[in-house]
Amino acid sequence: MTAGDVEVIKGAIDSHLAVSFDGTDDELQVNAAAAGLQVAAATEGTISFRFMPDNITGTYGLFASGAAAAAADTNLLIQQAAGKIRFYGRIQASAGFDIITTNNVLTAREWVHIAIVHNGTRPIIYIDGVAVAMTDTVGTDLTVWWSVLVDLDEGRLGCRTINGAEDQFLLGVLGDVKIWNLGFRAAEVNREFNREATQSVDTDRQTALDAALHNYWAWDGVLTDQGTGADTAVIVAHAYLSGWSSEWSRLVETRGYTHANDNFNTFRDGSEYVTIAVQGA
């Protein structure tokens, strides 16, 4: 852009606390979480998070756990695979599962809620609180979960880790991440998506859910894990806590306006903000 150029930026203003990643070498390390989940040895569980991809053309790691050396093929991985979500699990050299959403479920620069539920029999992928069609590309052992994983010493948010090396760095923002050692029921996934304070009206069930919350990174100004795992995330490279991030704010953030004379005029249009940006001289 050159001086005087005008750009109209429009996006939804529904915001979530988040961490931003530049797609080059950013990541969050949560090694103790991976090891702790293995020690807990649950046969079922739930992984829940929100994220907003800057594009849907590439493959990016979202959540990963693995072993650096002793059992290098042991891992669980959630990926953005273009417009789909892929969930992969392996026990050393043995085949486990490789599951991908049948249809495209992602839109560039729009928030989406992902939940992976393992009910003890197989994983189920939920998008925005609803179970979606899945394709079992590999399904020789759909029961793979923390109880059978060994030698886990690496946990990552925002990239893939495999054989002790990182790649597939996320380009986008990652919202709150929660991991339970208990498989959610469909209604509980929907309540988590809607950010309802109470997961269950069943007191005993709620007690079990509360006790099963192993990790919870809320990104509320700190990197602290509020779950029982107590694994504070470690920032690598240029990842940073970006506060309340909306589709509109992410668009503004990534446009690269840095000149002191850049001019912004912003107004609200229903559930969206519209910014008229003028490149400074």
Q: Tell me the pLDDT tens digit for each residue of 24-75.
A: 999 999 999 999 999 999 999 999 999 999 999 999 999 999 888 755 567 8
The Cβ of residue 5 has, within 10 Å, a number of other Cβ atoms equal to 10
Is a pLDDT exceeding 80 seen at residue 91? no
Neighbours of 270 (CB within 10 A): 8
What does the pLDDT read at residue 55?
Answer: 93
Average pLDDT in the chain: 90
In this prediction, residue 213 has a pLDDT band, given cuts at 50, 70 and 90, of very high
Confidence check: pLDDT of 94 > 70: no
**What string of DSSP letters covers 2-14?**
-TT-EEEEEEE--
14 pLDDT band (50/70/90 cuts)?
confident
Q: What pLDDT score does 59 carry?
A: 95
**pLDDT band, very low/low/confident/very high, at 82 (cuts 50, 70, 90):** very high
Q: Work out the number of other CB atoms within 10 angstroms of the CB of residue 41.
A: 12
Task: Name the residue with higher pLDDT: 76 or 4.
Answer: 76
Nearest alpha carbon to residue 159 among 234, 244, 83, 92: 234
pLDDT at 23 over 90: yes
Share of the chain above pLDDT 70, in %: 94
pLDDT digits (tens, 9 = 90+) for 112-164: 999 999 999 999 999 999 999 999 988 788 988 998 888 888 999 999 988 77
Q: At the top level of CATH, which class does the domain 20-237 belong to?
A: mainly beta
Q: What is the pLDDT of residue 98?
A: 92
For the chain, the domains span: 20-237
Tell me which residue of 161, 145, 159 sits closest to 68, measured CA to CA.
161
pLDDT at 107 > cutoff 90: yes
**If DSSP states are collapsed to H, E and C, what string results for 156-191?**
EECCEEECCEEECCCEEEEEEEEEECCCCCHHHHHH
Q: What is the 3-state secondary structure (H, E, C) of 98-148?
A: EEEECCCCCCCCCCEEEEEEECCCCEEEEECCEECCEEEEEECCCCCCHHH
